[in-house]
Structure 1
Amino acid sequence: MGLVPAIARKSSHAVVALCGSLWSSSAFAEPAAPPAATGANGDAPGMPSPETSREDLEARVARLEREAAARRDAPLPVVVSGYVHTDWVLFRQSSQDEVTQDGQPLNEKRFLLRRARLRAERDYGHFHGAFEIDANTINELQLRPINAEASFKWPAERPYPRAPWAVDPSRQPGRNDGTSSSGATNGAPQTDTPWFVVTAGLFRTPFGFEVPESERERPWLERSTMSAALFPQSFDLGLRFLGGYRFVRYAFAIMNGAPIGERTFPGRDPNESKDLIFRIGGASALTEGIQLEGGLSGLSGRGFHRGLPATKDVLQWQDSNADGVVDNTTELQVIPGSPATPSASFKRFAVGADLRATIAIPTLGDLHLRAEVVRGSNLDRGLYVSDPVVASRDLRQLGYYLGASQEITRWALVGVRYDRYDPDSDAREQEPFALVPRDVSMSTWSFSAAGRMRYGRLVAQYDHRQNALGRDASGRPTTLADDSFTLRAEVRF
């Protein structure tokens, strides 16, 4: 009897505990969600269809890719670039281990820093600014500003014209970096929108083709003798207006007429007269693989003759018998003084024509052909400085060059150029019984070969020069041996 009540009590306790547990679970459990209604197509409401979801994802991916490309291609606030040209002159026939009368060394077999350029520029749409400095050791260690431009351009979205004569004026620097330098195979389309740029500052003289050409695009080490004599180092101060429409290219400038490489007043205008310069031409992609660029150029201005100060009478003693004593009046000579001569200006001008063709050669690369001729008067400022006041006549100049360069795939380039320059077409020389014409012209054959990679070049060039600077045994003019062989290392950044 005692066992049955005990079992009953334990069973009742278990039932009470089970009921309490069930009540607690139902009281604190979250209510069950009602069944979701389905749409007409069986999808849950508010959820996009598979087709809509795929379209949204594709649009989002495309938008993100465009934003990433825009961030990647967006120009920096200030774009910094530059390049270095280091030369090693292995051979130069005219080099001597000697100095000139003014103490300058005549040795040319040396390492030299031809140019090291650092450029900073910024494009604000309608406004563009650039500043470039140059370091070199051509004569001595030199650091100077070489390019400083403040420009207004229209339209605002058009890139700054780095090669205004080209089919694509907005050609970016470094196109000659192991890829096709001209893009002749691209068939760059002509734009129907006129464009122009107004620039004030220190910039390249817009005359011809070779003078405003960038040093890192030229197949040869330096400019031709003609360009170096008439426009030494190219850069001058002034105001320039250039532009184009369709295939037409034009440039007008008013400049000091004293380039930074001039031998008399480099970078500083000695008179109030300014040089007027223009170039009018065209550039067109004739076919899919042929481009043609050409133009006519002109210059009109006034040069400057430096006056001389007055001098006093001078008594000169020549000790003819070397006894240290004035023996007679024949050893004494009076050199009379001279009055001061005023400075004067003189007229100068130049006209020129240039032509350039680019032909795409299958497999190899682009073939570049170029030619230019210039006729000038009293314009030599870098080689034989023209001074018609001293010469009592005008000094006429004539120069031209012919050049061809061929890309050997994207990795190499070979070129040949012939240039000739006559600084005085009317030169005369006195012989024993007559005054005869004298040929003072000089010519150069330049053969170059370059290996190219994306950010650098290694160039080898041999120059064969002919001139009238030497004299033979009879005293007649002859060629002074002056051939040279040079290696150049170039790096761009």
Structure 2
Amino acid sequence: MRIFFICLLTILPLFVLAQNNNAPSSYDIHDIKITGYLQTQFQVAQSPGIFSWSGGDFSQNSASRFMLRRGRLKVDRVDKFSSVVFQLDGTQDGLRIMDAFIQFHSPEDKSLLVTAGLFNRPFGYSIVYSSGYRDFPERARVFQTLMPRERDLGAMISYRPKKMLHFVTAELAVVNGSGLNAKDYDSNKDIIGNLNFKFDSLANKKFHLGFGGSIYKGTVRSNTDTYLKPIENGFASVTDANNVGYNFRRDYYGANLQLEYNNSFGTTSLKSEYIQGKQPGVASSSSISGLAASQSFAAQPTTNLYLRNFNGYFIWFTQQIASTKLTAIVGYDVYDPNTDVDESEIGKTGNNTTAGDIKFSTLGYGITYALNGRLKLTIYNEHVHNDGTQLANYQNDIKDNVFTTRLQYRW
């Protein structure tokens, strides 16, 4: 039994690091190490050709598909002073870089880390939590919209004390703001601050508590002389030559909470995250779906900017079933891209609203089965809901539910 606990204490730090995408597989000195995971899945949509945040949009005439959701290959190396991480993602759509960063630190103390390159934005909980360990198939719609592909190019300072304040993690990053695989389209940089607390030794080490707060301060450069500012139940158009080249605010404020209890029936966990702020966007159009109208820009927008006040959140509940390899999962998330308008007013003549202002909520439920330490099966069903509007194609709830069966192998 003593040997078992010694092994557990040795492996646990590696497990925690593996859940954080902004870290190598281990900070123990090692030569090249290769890790990764592969996710293959089959999905059925409620209707063909739907726009979806559950692995991407469906093809026009298809309501079912096999796909490779993620195929991650991570290579890292750690020496006395520094570490390097390089990660690729391969799917049916091709191969792309996911992470490419260098970290360095004092050889005597790794509490203070400097990271430079392409890495996860250090905002909140779910963005930096690895998809290879997450129980739910996808991150919440609000985070996929605001921070697509999670990564950005920049530099970051992290403070993770090893002794007295070991429960604290503080991070400060400066990034381009244009995201993964995108060139920066202006000279302004975005700033991200993150402060988290984690306690793993409460109630005789049966209860685990984590919480924190994050802030994102950025801008989006306008390329036109007109923008639309929010008013009650709509937008007002503002035209001024000085708007060309003006940097409009992109500000987010977030809070997160994680609770986990190891009980006689099995591990119970509750995780939640809330975010609100101001998001520049565009109008939905024939080339931009309503779901993507408030998405963060990878290139400078060439149409009128919509300045939207938004909020969103998710709640994830998991329950291990009688200490077996089965875990029941239930998730609920909401994204309201425009908190200044009621759904019944969207599409009303003269108020400049579009499908990009519609609020969506998603209720998901399913089960995971850990066949062994590397292989996991996930079965998950999502009910996506929106209230009716005055827009032609959105007068009722869209039929965009998705059922997913996923098999994952991690090495």
| Residues in 1 aligned to 2:305 and 2:404: alpha-carbon distance in whole angstroms | 40
Tell me the residue number matched to 2:168: 248
Deviation (angstroms), 1:232 = 0.7
> Which of 241, 252, 262 is the aligned partner of 1:360?
262
Rate the CA distance shift 1:120–1:156 in 2: closer, same or farther, 3 A.
farther
Partner of 2:231: none
2:143 partner SS: helix
Q: How does 1:149-188 map to 2 (within 5 A)?
A: 149-154=101-106, 156=108
Identity %: 25
Deviations 1:423-481 (A, max 9, x none): 12224545479999997100001112111111110111000000258879x98732101
1:385 to 283, 287, 294: 294
- Does structure 2 conserve the Cα–Cα contact (< 8 Å) formed by 1:83 and 1:116? yes
Q: 1:462 maps to what in 2? A: 381
CA distance in 2, matches of 1:432, 1:226: 28
Cα pair 1:448 1:459 within 8 Å, conserved: yes
Contact 1:230 1:379 survives alignment (8 Å): no
Looking at structure 1, the residues matched to 402 and 128 of structure 2 have their Cα atoms a distance apart, in angstroms, of 26
What is the CA-CA distance between 1:290 and the residue it aligns to?
A: 0.7
With normalisation by structure 2, the TM-score equals: 0.74
1:271 Cα deviation from its structure 2 partner: 0.7
Q: Distance in 1 between matches of 2:177 and 2:309?
A: 18
> What do residues 215-261 of structure 1 show as CA deviations (whole Å, max 9, x unaligned)?
0111100000011011111011111111223222211100111122x
Partner of 2:16: none
Deviation digits for residues 322-365 of structure 1 (CA, Å, limit 9, x no counterpart): xxxxxxxxxxxxxxxxx9x9554311101010011111112x43
The CA deviation at 1:209 is 0.5
The 1:352–1:82 alpha-carbon spacing in structure 2 relative to 1, beyond 3 Å, is same
Q: Given residue 383 of structure 1, which amino acid in structure 2 is its aligned partner?
A: A
Kept after mapping to 1: 8 A contact 2:121/2:127:
yes
Aligned residue identity for 1:77: D
Q: 1:464/1:238 Cα in 2 relative to 1: closer, same or farther (>3 Å)? A: same
5+ residue gaps in structure 2?
Answer: 1-9, 11-25, 51-57, 226-240, 283-290
| Structure with greater strand share of residues | 2
Is 1:281 matched up with 2:196? yes
Match of 2:335 in 1: 421
Note closer, same or farther for the CA distance 1:369–1:155 as it changes in structure 2 (3 Å cut): farther
Letter in 1 for 2:100: A
CA RMSD after TM alignment:
3.3
Establish whether residue 298 from structure 1 lines up as the match of residue 212 from structure 2: no
CA distance in 2, matches of 1:78, 1:436: 53
Instruction: Give 5+ residue unaligned stretches, structure 1.
Output: 1-68, 98-102, 159-194, 261-265, 309-338
Q: TM-score, normalised by structure 1?
A: 0.62
Matches within 5 A, 1:61-460: 77-89=31-43, 91-96=44-49, 105-137=60-92, 141-154=93-106, 156=108, 195-245=111-161, 246=165, 247-260=167-180, 266-285=181-200, 286-288=202-204, 289-306=206-223, 342-362=244-264, 364-378=265-279, 383-385=292-294, 394-408=307-321, 409-427=323-341, 428-429=345-346, 431=348, 440-452=358-370, 453-460=372-379
In structure 2, what is the Cα distance between the partners aligned to 1:272 and 1:399?
29
Residue 82 and residue 380 in structure 1: after superposition, are their counterparts in 2 closer, same or farther (change >3 A)? farther
- Counterpart amino acid of residue 225 in structure 1: R
Instruction: Tell me how far apart the structure 2 counterparts of residues 468 and 142 of structure 1 sit (CA, whole Å).
Output: 36
Cα distance in 1, alignment partners of residues 135 and 358 from structure 2: 28
The one-character-per-residue Cα deviations of 1:36-80 (angstroms, maximum 9, x if unpaired) are: xxxxxxxxxxxxxxxxxxxxxxxxxxxxxxxxx9xxx98752101
Query: Does residue 484 of structure 1 match 2:402?
Result: yes
Task: Determine the structure 2 residue equivalent to 1:319.
Answer: none
Structure 2: which amino acid aligns with 1:146? Answer: M
In structure 2, relative to structure 1, the CA distance for the partners of 1:399 and 1:77 (3 Å cut) is same
User: Given that residues 346 and 390 in structure 2 are in contact (C-alpha distance below 8 angstroms), is that contact kept between their aligned partners in structure 1?
Assistant: no
Contact 2:223 2:303 in 1 (8 A): no
- Number of aligned residue pairs: give it: 339
Q: Flag the 1:469–1:240 CA change in 2: closer, same or farther, 3 A.
A: farther
In 2, distance between residues paired with 1:348 and 1:135?
Answer: 31
8 Å CA contact 1:226, 1:420 repeated in 2: yes
Residue type of the alignment partner of 1:353: A
